[in-house]
Chains A and B, each alone.
Chain A
């Protein structure tokens, strides 16, 4: 029979891990859906292909994270159920991922600030004490690295471009900045992950994120807002901006309207 003390430990570590996986999976899913909304609306064919492919990578990553979370929940749910049958308050994505598409500067600014964090986090997660997380992270890291390469090029091209593109890129950065505090925020769930060696040292991630952001913004001739600026938080515990509900309403409509469908 299982030692009761051990069982308690298992229960204690399982819930934060599930939450942590939802944070990873929901962030990828929601940002991927923002890309999907651009289908047929990108400014050029090449950019349309790129946006859709980046979105597709994010959906694939979301499926891997949410699939793992669903197994831990052991509640007869799967990744699709988590994606399509939960309401906004159950989502644990970062607030920056749900911000609206706006203009191309908003889209690439959001992607860049996220990518610059994502690559360093995934890189750290490849050393996770949880082998399944390490495996998914190693796969995702290659994709995220390529995403960062593209989003930084765009931030530089727009920032160091015409007066109009520079103005818009700076405005996008100023608007999005208030959601970046959450990327570096460490709460009790993160703390539990760090203590068990599942998640990497947050200070190293923060230092790397800042270094990447500073390097690219400098080359883009953009002014970096202050790290001490007031920041929105809450996405990681289910307190979202008003934008997420609308995104989910569109994304979840079909499976919710036809809950008995077995084939699409």
Chain B
């Protein structure tokens, strides 16, 4: 059965959505080693955990988008995961505190909306840490199909590895997660959904 809520493939709104749901400049941070200073800043930010999922750092989560110097002042660009993510301010504050503690005076923390965050920016190490923590990392790449539910992926249980899992609810303990259940080990778990 075709999942509900999607435009019919042969209908008048075949081209919906007209825009890319997943916009990515794929630019992100400069490659490691290109600028020694940036590596040093990254090393500090790698110690700043996400407040909701403390096993991953803000760098691993992919929300640190740019590091630069503006008139001699360090500027870090951060993008929110969801528009209403209540952790956004706390994360910015923690980044500020960590940088000040590391000796950067008065760093500028800027919020950037575009391009919108995608789970594709979660690093490999971040995904592995999520799994070890009991949260299933996003399966595959973010796409229109994954968002509209046209292709629901098989989400392996992060606890026993079984593929016999089912979705209980589109939302879990935070906006970025869905609630799943394993039919083999019977444990419920959070799935970090593709966005």
Of B37-45, B113-121, B123-131, B133-141, the segment with at least 4 beta carbons within 8 Å of chain A is B113-121
Residues of B contacting A54 with CB < 8 Å?
A: 171
Chain A residues touching B, majority SS: helix
Residues of B contacting A145 with CB < 8 Å?
A: 17, 21, 144, 147-148
How many residues in B have their beta carbons less than 8 Å from beta carbons of A? 40
Check if A138 sits within 8 Å of B169, measured CB to CB: no
Of A10-18, A118-126, A175-183, A255-263, the segment with at least 4 beta carbons within 8 Å of chain B is A118-126
Of A72-80, A164-172, A208-216, the segment with at least 4 beta carbons within 8 Å of chain B is A208-216
Check if B19 sits within 8 Å of A46, measured CB to CB: no
Write 21 A-B pairs (CB below 8 A) sorted by A numbering.
A32-B84, A49-B169, A49-B173, A56-B82, A59-B84, A60-B83, A61-B83, A63-B84, A124-B18, A135-B113, A136-B83, A138-B113, A139-B80, A141-B19, A148-B148, A149-B5, A152-B5, A207-B12, A211-B11, A211-B12, A212-B7
Q: Which of B6, B13, B19, B170 interacts with A126 by CB under 8 Å? A: B19
* 0/1 string, A139-171, CB within 8 A of B gives 1: 111110110111111011000000000000000
B180 → chain A closest CB, angstroms: 11
A64 within 8 A of B: yes
Q: Which residues in window 67-106 of B have CB below 8 A to A?
A: 80, 82-86
**Complexed CA–CA distance, A140 and B113 (Å):** 10
Check if A46 sits within 8 Å of B83, measured CB to CB: no
**Complexed CA–CA distance, A148 and B86 (Å):** 22
A87 within 8 A of B: no
A127 within 8 A of B: yes
On whether A143 and B12 interact (CB within 8 A), knowing A49-B169, A53-B175, A138-B23, the answer reads no
Residues of A contacting B82 with CB < 8 Å?
A: 56-57, 60, 143
Check if B17 sits within 8 Å of A141, measured CB to CB: yes
Chain A interfacial positions (CB closer than 8 Å to B): 32, 46-47, 49-50, 53-61, 63-64, 119-120, 123-124, 126-127, 134-136, 138-143, 145-146, 148-153, 155-156, 207-208, 211-212, 215-216, 219
Q: Which of A123, A139, A143, A207 interacts with B17 by CB under 8 Å? A: A123
Check if B83 sits within 8 Å of A123, measured CB to CB: no
Check if A138 sits within 8 Å of B19, measured CB to CB: yes
**Complexed CA–CA distance, A149 and B151 (Å):** 12
In the complex, the chain B residue whose C-beta lies closest to that of A45 is B169
**Complexed CA–CA distance, A149 and B83 (Å):** 18
**Complexed CA–CA distance, A152 and B21 (Å):** 19
Check if A208 sits within 8 Å of B114, measured CB to CB: no
In the complex, the chain A residue whose C-beta lies closest to that of B172 is A49
Residues of A contacting B4 with CB < 8 Å?
A: 149, 152-153, 155-156, 215-216, 219
Residues of A contacting B115 with CB < 8 Å?
A: 138
B171 → chain A closest CB, angstroms: 4
Residues of A contacting B13 with CB < 8 Å?
A: 120, 207-208, 211-212
Check if A146 sits within 8 Å of B16, measured CB to CB: no
Residues of B contacting A119 with CB < 8 Å?
A: 17
**Complexed CA–CA distance, A211 and B6 (Å):** 10
Check if A120 sits within 8 Å of B174, measured CB to CB: no
B59 within 8 A of A: no
